[in-house]
Amino acid sequence: MKLYESLAAEVEGQVARGVLLEGERLPSVRQASQRRKLSISTVLRAYSLLESRGVIESRPQSGFFVRARPRVSPRAAEPAPALTLSSEVDVSRLVLSTLRTIRTQGAAPLGSPYPDPAAFPAARISRYANAIARSRPVSVLDDLPPGNPQLIRQIARRYMEHGVAVDPAEIIVTVGATEAINLCLQAVARPGDTIAVESPTFYAMLHAIERMGMRALEVPTNRRTGIDVDALRTILASQRVAAVMVMPNFQNPLGFLMPDGRKRELVALLAEHGIPAIENCVYDELYYGDSHPCPLKTWDTRGLVLHCASFSKSLTSNYRIGWALAGRYAAQVEKLKFLNTLSTPSLPQLAIADYLQHDGFDRHLRQVRKGYAQRARMMAAAVLRFFPAGTRVSEPQGGYVLWVELAGGVDAMRLYARALEHGITVGPGHMFSARGSWTHCIRLNYSYPWTQATEDALRTLGRLVAELA
């Protein structure tokens, strides 16, 4: 390859990889010549070659710029190449592939695990953050575990208002609930241990178990009342389980609210065996009923419940602030937090604390809950209307996701691939099991405003299901 061809190939590669964006100015011929120790004529030949290929364009008196490429309609885009349709599905890769597809192809975000960010008071929280940054210096020492005292006090007050007495000294601030879950699991179990989970279960739980070299044991779960306590009792009588991981309130993906009687029964069973429970309560503020749900922590008298939550699903996902109430394992979780990530940044903690103290968090939540409850009914009705007879849907009591059991034995991965061809994403059921269960199910997100495009996407999904069946 000649020198000018080599330079042209390098620039073209930078454009393809997004290092150089369309409309961006390239280094001048003289600058490129000096930096790369090439003659001016060599650089000119390279730029001319790129111009002939339509990669760049010259503008009189201005220089050379990356040329705008033709726009491709999201509905005509090819599906993500990382996906393979096989019986052995890598859950982590599938989740990442789904998220990348939503981001890069502009697809209908029915498969997104995240709530619509437009519903969050991001501007108000940013104003608090900016005011703090201008008015007071923030030291790295302020970031050390367990977290900022002002935020910890506000979190403890929130529990108090809901009738749950917590010790502020037990609260450890984390980078989102995901870190809280990982730290708690690391505190109570070791590689090779067995962890009991719901089936289906939220894939973040499966990720944590997989990452730490543990084994997930899936326990039958009722789509209205949660994990089968009797089935778990039978399991515990015959084999060793290091911990149980559950989402008792508005579980992702089923959306159920576990009855208080079942919660008490579960806590008592685990206390009898001395087994810790890690509960993920990130959706607790998104209830549709009249009162805030009780977490398992309410009935924990032995410090065996490690309660994890965050503001990412209810207030802001920009800052990723979560926490753990780790019971008798609090000191170990705090130590692991320090060893794993050192600290959680102070500025986001302080900004959220100020918002909680001075702004209308409850007013914001009332609006969000009302919208989610209405869209839950609309999406369930649309699915039953557009999908083939025999389709079943969950009855979420909170949160923002709907679980759909497809009729006709349709494989969710095939529907996932076909839907991408139409610019639609779904959450295939394969993501919610470590043993390949729920392959005939999908999860749909209804947190975004209901539009004609949403209805059209559901109508298209229903047609695709019928074709695949």
Residue 1 has pLDDT above 90, yes or no: no
| Most trustworthy range by pLDDT among 4-8, 19-23, 192-196 | 192-196
**Per-residue pLDDT at 80:** 35
Mean predicted confidence (pLDDT) in 47-56: 90
Q: What is the distance between the alpha carbons of residues 170 and 177, in angstroms, rounded to a whole number?
A: 16
- CB under 8 A, 24+ apart: contacts of 214-218: 214/185, 214/189, 214/190, 214/242, 216/434, 216/435, 217/241, 218/433, 218/434, 218/435, 218/437
Token digits of residue 215: 């084994």
Mean predicted confidence (pLDDT) in 201-208: 92
Contact, 387 vs 404, CB < 8 A? Answer: yes
Q: Which residue has the higher pLDDT, 401 or 109?
A: 401
DSSP of 121-158: -HHHHHHHHHHHHHHS---GGGG-TT--HHHHHHHHHH
Confidence of residue 22 (pLDDT cuts 50, 70, 90): confident
Residue 73 has pLDDT above 70, yes or no: no
pTM, rounded to two decimals: 0.81
**Per-residue pLDDT at 104:** 53
Contact, 390 vs 398, CB < 8 A? Answer: no
Strand pairing class (277-280; 194-199) = unpaired
Q: Is the dihedral of CA 79, 80, 83, 84 positive or negative?
A: positive
Mean predicted confidence (pLDDT) in 415-422: 92
Return the number of other C-beta atoms located less than 10 Å from residue 317's C-beta. 17
Mean predicted confidence (pLDDT) in 260-279: 98
Confidence of residue 90 (pLDDT cuts 50, 70, 90): low
**Per-residue pLDDT at 137:** 74
Q: What are φ and ψ of residue 30, in 5° steps?
A: -65, -45
Contact, 278 vs 206, CB < 8 A? Answer: no
Q: Look at the block and give the residue holding tokens 């923002």.
A: 400
Q: Which residue has the higher pLDDT, 336 or 164?
A: 336
Farthest CA pair distance, the chain: 82
Token digits of residue 148: 């900022």
**Per-residue pLDDT at 36:** 86
DSSP of 427-462: EEGGGG-SSS--TTEEEEE--SPP-HHHHHHHHHHH
Q: What is residue 78's DSSP assignment?
A: P
From start to end of 300-446, where are the E strands?
305-310, 321-325, 392-393, 401-405, 427-428, 441-445
**Per-residue pLDDT at 79:** 36
Coarse DSSP helix, strand, coil percentages of the chain, rounded to the nearest 5 percent: 50, 15, 35
Query: Percent of the chain scored above 70 by pLDDT?
Result: 92
SS3 state at 469: coil
Q: What are φ and ψ of residue 252, in 5° steps?
A: -95, 115
Which residue segments constitute the domains of the chain, with CATH numbers given?
Answer: 3-66 (1.10.10.10), 74-118+363-468 (3.90.1150.10), 138-359 (3.40.640.10)
Return the number of other C-beta atoms located less than 10 Å from residue 269's C-beta. 17
Q: What's the mean pLDDT when you consider all of the chain?
A: 90
Token digits of residue 136: 């007071």
List, for residues 282-314, the tens digit of each pLDDT value.
Answer: 999 999 999 999 999 999 999 999 999 999 999
Mean predicted confidence (pLDDT) in 171-175: 96
